[in-house]
């Protein structure tokens, strides 16, 4: 499929989605959000895709925020609609995708860009990465899940400070906070993400799908995460992946899982 604002390629079980608006520091606009949704949906349905990596084109930015010019004149009703539709179409969609998603944060990840990275299952960053939610400096708050996911990742106090000061943190501070899992050079960033993806791909896609559901359940109001874990654990026992995994273990050989 051809896109105007993103790139999507699949090799060796990994689909790499790249936000491709370098002249705008890869800022999110309505078209980009729509294309990202389409790309993630296609990758999620693709049986050959075991892991998805998302990154930004160029050396300056992952995604430097949302395209402010698109909503600067919105009223209350339009703003609420923008946030609700964006969260449903992209940010919540990524979080709940059954295919693992790694954000490879190269450069600036600000506002909607950091919210995009936080919606992914985990993050790796280049040493030149800068992250923050500067929305209050514009008289607004994060609207794509930032006020919810940031406290989950770094804790309430740190999230309050980051949002209230509208400041940026560097890659090492993000690592200290637990906002990213690993930091490496920009040249090695995609290679590191692919290395981690390779480790993921050795395991059962079916079991990973269940694990994502169980982990996410702990962060949803009104959902008993322990009960979700029990149900997903039980479901594994009815799968070909479980039969293959346990048989391979008992036979002291490498498991060859059937697939997605």
Question: Packing angle between helix 112-119 and helix 146-154, nearest 10 degrees?
Answer: 60
Query: Reduced to 3 states, what is the DSSP secondary structure of residue 205?
Result: helix
How far is Cα 59 from Cα 57, in angstroms, rounded to an integer? 7
95-98: long-range contacts (C-beta < 8 A, 24 or more apart)?
95/119, 95/120, 95/121, 95/216, 96/212, 96/213, 96/216, 97/40, 97/44, 97/52, 97/212, 98/44, 98/208, 98/209, 98/212, 98/213
What are the structure tokens assigned to 232, written together?
Answer: 């997903």
- What does the DSSP 8-state code read for residue 257? -
Residue recorded with tokens 């060796």: 12
Q: Which residues does the annotation mark as catalytic?
A: 115, 135
Closest CA to 65 of 13, 120, 19, 104: 19
Question: Residue 102 — φ and ψ, nearest 5°?
Answer: -110, 130
Residue located via tokens 């075991």: 50
Q: Are 117 and 123 in contact (CB under 8 A)?
A: yes
């Amino acid at each position: 499929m051809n896109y105007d604002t993103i790139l999507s390629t699949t090799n060796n079980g990994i689909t790499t989605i790249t936000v491709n608006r370098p002249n705008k520091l890869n800022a999110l606009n309505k078209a980009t959000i729509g294309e990202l949704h389409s790309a993630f949906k296609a990758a999620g349905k693709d049986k050959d895709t075991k892991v998805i990596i998302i990154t930004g084109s160029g050396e300056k930015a992952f995604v430097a925020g949302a395209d402010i010019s698109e909503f600067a004149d919105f009223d209350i009703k339009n703003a609420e609609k923008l946030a609700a539709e964006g969260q449903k179409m992209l940010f919540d969609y990524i979080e709940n995708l059954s295919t693992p998603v790694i954000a490879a944060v190269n450069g600036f990840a600000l506002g909607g860009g950091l919210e995009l990275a936080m919606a992914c299952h985990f993050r790796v960053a280049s040493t030149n990465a800068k992250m923050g939610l500067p929305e209050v400096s514009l008289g607004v708050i994060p609207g794509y899940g930032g006020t919810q996911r940031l406290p989950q990742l770094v804790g309430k106090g740190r999230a309050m400070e980051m949002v209230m000061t509208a400041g940026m943190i560097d890659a090492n501070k993000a690592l200290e906070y637990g906002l990213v899992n690993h930091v490496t050079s920009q040249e090695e960033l995609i290679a590191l993400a692919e290395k981690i993806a390779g480790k993921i791909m050795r395991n059962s896609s079916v079991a990973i799908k269940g694990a994502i559901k169980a982990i996410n359940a702990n962060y949803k109001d009104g959902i008993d995460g322990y009960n979700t874990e029990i149900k997903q654990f039980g479901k594994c026992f009815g799968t070909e992946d479980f039969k293959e995994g346990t048989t391979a273990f008992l036979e002291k050989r490498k498991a060859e899982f059937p697939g997605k």
